[in-house]
Amino acid sequence: MMLPSIRPATPADIPAIAAIYGDAVRNGTASWELDAPDEAEMLRRLEAILAGGYPYLVAQRDDLLLGYAYASAYRPRPAYRSTVENSIYIAPDAQGAGIGSALLAALIEACTAEGFRQIIAVIGDGTGASVGSRRLHERAGFRLIGVAEKVGFKHGRWLDQMLMQKDLGEGSATPP
């Protein structure tokens, strides 16, 4: 199967993005939201990420949006300005086909080009149902930096949160 094209997200992608994310909220543990946001909220989030100067990408094959990935502020205080947090969501029927790897590689490239120095993956339930996300990030060169145990409760069980990190560009070798 050929890999999809990766391109910047646009407002026209919101219905597909909202559907993919809604499934993740309702059925998975990658997101710890309990109620799926509507399209208007997903559009607001897209606009805020783009206005902040962060990349937001989609993977598309033919006319079908298969997944999306974006970077956003890791934390709001100015000292964190060179560090981003990444998020990746893949349509259920497209998982396991290399789309997450393609999106993550493109996102890392875009973040590096923008001058960011660190990227953090905050993986919900990285030791359980979201082990695929952990493996995806490991293959991309992320390293485990910590696990907060039993800090979320969803689908009737306590969830761990895993943090993984990767240097971008010169990383911490020089000031930003």
Query: The domain spanning residue 89 has which CATH number?
Result: 3.40.630.30
**Residue 126 confidence class, pLDDT cut points 50, 70, 90:** low
How many other CB atoms are there within 10 angstroms of residue 131's CB atom?
Answer: 13
59 assigned to some structural domain: yes
Q: What is the Cα–Cα distance from 28 to 8, expressed in whole angstroms?
A: 25
Q: Is residue 151, in this structure, part of any structural domain at all?
A: yes
Domain span at 95: 5-167
Asked whether the beta carbons of 20 and 58 are under 8 A apart, the reply is no
pLDDT of residue 124: 87
pLDDT value at position 169?
Answer: 95
6, 110 Cβ separation under 8 angstroms? no
Task: Tell whether the model's pLDDT for residue 128 goes beyond 80.
Answer: no
Q: How many domains does the chain have?
A: 1
Question: Is residue 38 in a domain?
Answer: yes
Residue 172 lies in a domain: no
pLDDT digits (tens, 9 = 90+) for 15-68: 999 999 999 999 999 899 999 999 999 999 999 999 999 999 999 999 999 999
Long-range pairs for 8-15: beta carbons < 8 A, 24 or more residues apart? 8/55, 8/56, 8/57, 8/58, 9/46, 9/56, 9/57, 9/58, 9/68, 9/70, 11/43, 11/46, 11/47, 13/58, 13/65, 13/68, 14/39, 14/42, 14/43, 14/46, 15/39
The answer to whether residue 23 sits within a structural domain is yes
Averaged confidence pLDDT in the chain: 94
* pLDDT tens by residue, 134-165: 999 999 999 999 999 999 999 999 999 999 99
Do 87 and 41 contact (CB within 8 A), yes or no?
no
Is the residue at 131 inside a domain? yes
**59-105, pLDDT tens digit by residue?**
999 999 999 999 999 999 999 999 999 999 999 999 989 999 999 99
pLDDT at 78: 95
Residue 176 in any domain: the answer is: no
Q: Decide if 162 is inside a domain.
A: yes
